[in-house]
Chains A and B, each alone.
Chain A
Amino acid sequence: MEFFNRNHKRDIDLLWLLTHKEITLQYKRTSLGILWSLLNPLLLALVFYIAFTIVLRFQMKDFSLFLLSALFPWTWFSNAVSASTVSLIANKSLIKKFPFPKHFLLSAGVISQGIHFLFSLPIIACLVYYYGKTAGAIWLIGIPLLLIIQFIITMGASLAVSVINVYFMDFQFIVAFLLTMLFWLTPIVYPFDTVPETYRLLFLYLNPLTPLMSSWRELFMFNAIHWSWITISILGSIVIFCVGLLIFKKLSKRVDEVI
């Protein structure tokens, strides 16, 4: 059934209100508030620093910039996908009461995590200058481009996991595991070059996060855009988005019967 009085202004307002709600409520009644979204990856980076640089004594140049330039975007992806997993169930009172497009709940989650990521960009910029590098004009092309690609990938994954979890509650635990697995199978704490030659193509083509995270790092550390990586990640993002949308469309009409 079509909702009759649908207009775009109202949709934009709704999306913004839901996003705003996500952002303000996530850290409501905490004293550090939105700082937690920066503190979490920073503390994680500290742990990796201890493990890799102090204990294992890996020699990595500009380690904190190297790590954070991929860890911050990863955090966006990972937080958004795990929030989406339970999003439909958490918002069931809204879903049952109001006729509105359910995917707005997911877009709001992905956008709000994306905004948290934007707050981390100044930290990255500081590190760039701390290590004696500069921010190039290419950032102005690179950042929006990568933001869009990452939004599409994250949205595709969110659409799929959210609706599957309504039917199989076990799925949230599987997603948690998959995210951990994906974290270690994506060049985040190690550079793409260290992946053995035989596996490189697998890493690159089976996991669109590989070219994406590597591109973020390439951009921030070397002011460069690796166009073949961008192409692969765009293709990957389209595939993931279409599959996610298909699953969501197929399953979401019956969500009311099981929620």
Chain B
Amino acid sequence: MSEFVVELDHVWKEYPLQRDRPGFKEYFVNIHKFMKRKGEENSHFYALRDLTLKIARGECVGIIGENGAGKSTLLSLMLGTIFPSRGDVKVMDRVTPLLELGGGFHPDMTGRENVILNGVLLGFTKGDVLKKMSSIIDFSEIGEFVDLPVRTYSSGMYLRLAFSVAIHTDPKILIIDEVLSVGDERFQRKSKEAMLNLIKGGVTTIFVSHQMVAVKEICNRAIWLDGGEIKAEGEPEKVVDEYLRH
């Protein structure tokens, strides 16, 4: 009866181990290597290995694991900014990322211009964004600064504006990468509250965090990723405890 909005089917994601772009010389000297890239197991690093995962509408899934376990790769795959090397990723609804907030802002554009560009990049028409403009500005509390170039902002203002855009875009699937701390203490409480409201309101949430308390508190399922594979999955209490003991 529950409807799946995210489905990953035997997904692999590989990265070339030599992350520096090869120059022409290296390319031609090693052309045989580049041609049969699949054959060379050890020149590649698998960020995800044969991952199968289904997320139902309205679920809040916490993803935990050590650095380099593949958590961010998994989020990017769901977001659609990267593609699996093998396997299939299906996402049935609009994904709103709360990752590296403000990464899409251009310092020389004003706050308002950036909000519009950001909103459209998140999948909205310019008209939609303009309708929400005043509530976005209100929530971010940046006031008149909205018409100044973003480079004049403090880092707190920057994050507040970016956060405000993301939560005002009527998220269907929310992807959160450890951003519970936005701005000063008061704004942190406010942003956390806004997020919790969304989650309680039935928005499907995928939540990557190192704050185990938060995972236990918010999520109704936890997944422990280790070396690109699911090591444990289920009740947040159980999975978190297992992870902490390990």
Contacts and interface: CB of A to CB of B under 8 A. Distances in A.
A223 to B, nearest CB: 41
A126 interface: no
A59 to B, nearest CB: 44
A254 B123 CA distance: 23
A81 to B, nearest CB: 19
Interface in A237-259: 253-254, 256-258
Nearest to B37: A254
Given A167-B21, A168-B27, A99 B126 contact: no
Contact of A97 (B19, B24, B81, B116): B81
B117 interface: yes
Interface stretch (A10-18, A43-51, A64-72): A10-18
B82 A25 contact: no
Contact of A17 (B21, B97, B108, B116): B116
A10 B103 contact: no
A95 B92 contact: no
Contacts, number: 93
A235 interface: no
Contacts of B123: 3, 5-6, 10
A21 B117 contact: yes
Given A25-B109, A93-B104, A14 B92 contact: no
Which of A6, A94, A171 has its CB near the most chain B CB atoms (within 10 A)?
A94
A160 interface: no
Given A4-B93, A10-B125, A94-B104, A170 B109 contact: no
A99 B109 CA distance: 21
Interface string A169-185: 11100000000000000
A3 B112 CA distance: 26
Contacts of B82: 256-257
A253 B125 CA distance: 25
A116 B27 CA distance: 38
B81 A96 contact: yes
A244 to B, nearest CB: 20
Given A10-B123, A17-B116, A168-B23, A93 B103 contact: yes
Nearest to A166: B21
B28 to A, nearest CB: 10
Nearest to B88: A1
Nearest to A252: B83
Contacts of B109: 21, 24-25
A21 B106 contact: yes
A219 B19 CA distance: 50
A5 B170 CA distance: 13
A57 interface: no
A98 interface: yes
A35 to B, nearest CB: 19
A103 to B, nearest CB: 15
Which of B76, B99, B104, B120 has its CB near the most chain A CB atoms (within 10 A)?
B120
A236 B243 CA distance: 61
Interface string A68-93: 00000000000000000000000001
Interface of A: 1, 3-7, 9-10, 13-14, 17-18, 21, 24-25, 28-29, 93-100, 166-171, 253-254, 256-258
9 contacts: A1-B83, A93-B104, A96-B81, A98-B97, A168-B23, A169-B21, A257-B16, A258-B16, A258-B21
Given A4-B91, A5-B123, A98-B97, 14 more contacts: A1-B83, A5-B94, A13-B126, A21-B109, A25-B108, A93-B104, A96-B81, A97-B81, A97-B103, A99-B79, A168-B22, A168-B23, A254-B83, A256-B83
